[in-house]
Amino acid sequence: MSKYLITNFIAFILFTVLSSCTTTPQADLIVTNAKIYTVDEANPMAEAIAVRDGKIVALGTSAEIEKLKGDQTEIIDAEGKLVLPGFVDSHTHAFWGGQRLTEINLNGSETIEELQSKLSNWIKEKQIPPATPIWGVGPFPSAELFGGVGWPTKEILDEVSPENPVVLSRGGGHAYWLNSLALRQSGIIKGTPQREGGEIVFDEKTGEPTGILKETAQDIATDAIPHPIDMEAIFEMAQQHANALGLTSITIMPLTTGQDGLSALQKMKAKDKLTIRTYLGHAPIQLDSLIAAGAKTSDGDDMIQTGPIKIFMDGSLGALSAFMYEPFADNPGNSGIGRYEKGDLNALVQKAHDNNFQVAIHGIGDKAVTWALDAIEEAQKNSGNKNLRHRIEHNTVNILPDTKRFGELGVVASMQPHITGNQEYRERRLGKERGHRVDMWKTLLENNAMLAWSTDWPVSSLNPIDIIYDIVTRYEEQRLPMEDAIKYYTYGSSYASHSEKTKGTLEIGKLGDMVILSQDLLTVPVEDIKKTEVLYTIVGGKVVYKK
């Protein structure tokens, strides 16, 4: 080969190498022709987006982004539809929700006869043998069905299920309704001692148990009556349901033990079956073992992270067990149930705080919220504010001074707009003045609090659209604009799980999690919001749901 040809050949090779080094790699996924609301204040709108290796690599016009198209690129033409960051639910009981999808649901029964018929038919259709436990959910308390303040009795279930132990949970999970066989198997009889932090309801005249167990008393039945659960199977059902509603991340609160949940999630991840990002809470009983293992909040990866220590301070408004400063308006003499003594709560929060665990304290009543804030404030004073982003879950009723403490202490208000009922219900249960101290989102924002939206599923619908509708239509003094409804369902809930740097907004370098909706929530009339459907849910640039 001549010197001239050799020189030209070397030049050609160098040009080829240099060209390949400067060529922009193709995207794995491109969404084009869209209205992209990024929730990033610096760059709020775009027309197209590209994802490679699970992360966002470009935002811009369709013409700009289409330059990243390659032979293997998946292209989604959004046809002008709204694209948002994937919804992030800051409070679910996803294993319980998946379990609920397999159980009998008697909610919606309009008469006792209808309820009994549903239960009887369930036993026949499922061919449930005698002595096999039946678990499910029921509509109680309900004054319309059962009179008075609405608590049913074991006899209603006995009439149609005398041979099967029946345990029905109230929707919020703060009370059980048992039939006589379930009571016997639980060892609950006349004179059974009460559980601290709970109540076995006894008939005032006969002293016999009525079938209702509240708060910690539920554990008696849970421990005694078999309820086998395939954790992987129920979570797979839960995540399919969640993905179909536009959810790309969830916080899982531990109605199942955290370690059992963690094992199931890890197995699913190893099989490449995990399609939703998880932030897994643990129960206080697990705190010592977590500390011994050297764990802390935020350990993990983009799919499975260690979440908070979930602490139940009180019950619920519906079960008349929320811990209140004053009695319920419709149940005088009852101010609810505090599940911890103040000193015990403070000690638990201090221990978690000292060991770098975020706490998520269930506080529905105004007194429960105050005690929770007090415990967090004391822990921060004793050990410094470690920016753990402690959380109050639900934060349903506040005294006004407490609305300022969230921002001052850096406490996240993780709230569920869909579970507090309408204004008529709130005023009947709490009285007019206190009924307007429910779900004080706007007041909290005005006092520099961080909000995180969620559903408490299966307590209420898992659909973010239902929650967004409630946020923008709630009574005018606390109503928020659509932009805030979206922001705190993406960025706010990501912040609550220490992950706002990787998700919650659509920015270059963040995870490619997004949802494509059938309607433009930013412009659609309020009355049409609930007609909005999810067309695509995308996690890390992979389509996990398509309508």
pLDDT (tens digit per residue) in 412-461: 999 998 888 788 889 999 999 999 999 999 999 999 999 999 999 988 89
The pLDDT assigned to 240 comes to 97
Percent of the chain whose predicted confidence (pLDDT) is above 70:
95
Per the structure block, which two tokens stand in for 185? 């198997």
Domains of the chain: 24-85+511-547 (2.30.40.10), 95-224 (3.10.310.70)
Residue 18 has pLDDT above 50, yes or no: no
Confidence of residue 374 (pLDDT cuts 50, 70, 90): very high
Q: Which pLDDT band holds residue 287 (cuts at 50, 70, 90)?
A: very high
User: What's the Cα-to-Cα distance from 145 to each of 153, 382, 430, rounded to whole Å?
Assistant: 12, 50, 21
Q: What is the pLDDT, as a whole number, of residue 254? A: 84
- Residues sharing a CB contact under 8 Å with residue 312, sequence separation 6 or more, in sequence order: 215, 339, 362
The whole-number pLDDT of residue 257 equals 58
Residue-level pLDDT at 255: 57
Distance CA 213, CA 114 (A): 23
pLDDT classification of 41: cutoffs 50, 70, 90: very high
Res. 536: pLDDT tops 60: yes
For the segment 206-210, the average pLDDT, to the nearest whole number, is 97
pLDDT at 113: 97
- Torsion on CA atoms 358, 364, 367, 370, rounded to nearest 10: 30
pLDDT digits (tens, 9 = 90+) for 69-128: 999 999 999 999 999 999 999 999 999 899 888 889 999 999 999 999 999 999 999 999
Strands (DSSP E) along 442-546, which ranges? 450-453, 514-517, 534-539, 542-546
Q: Residues 200, 194: contact at Cβ < 8 Å?
A: yes
Write out the DSSP string of 213-270: EEETTHHHHHHHS-----HHHHHHHHHHHHHTTTEEEEEE--SS-HHHHHHHHHHHHH
Q: What is the mean pLDDT of residues 356-371?
A: 98
Cα-Cα end-to-end distance for the chain = 62
Task: Give me the mean pLDDT over the 363-368 stretch.
Answer: 98
pLDDT given for residue 5 in this prediction: 44
Rg (alpha carbons) of the chain, rounded to whole number: 26
Is the distance from CB of 62 to CB of 50 less than 8 angstroms?
Answer: no
Give 296-343 pLDDT, tens digit per residue. Answer: 999 999 999 999 999 999 999 988 999 999 999 999 999 999 999 999
Percent of the chain clearing pLDDT 90 (strictly above): 86
Considering the entire predicted model, what is its pTM?
A: 0.82
Q: With bands split at pLDDT 50, 70 and 90, how would you rate the model's confidence at 259?
A: low
Arithmetic mean of pLDDT, 247-276:
88
Beta bridge partners, 177, equal 168, 212
Q: What is the largest CA-CA distance in the chain?
A: 113
Confidence (pLDDT) at 12: 43
- Mean pLDDT, the chain, rounded, equals 93
Task: Average the pLDDT over 487-512 and give the result.
Answer: 98
- Check: CB of residue 490 under 8 Å from CB of residue 451: no
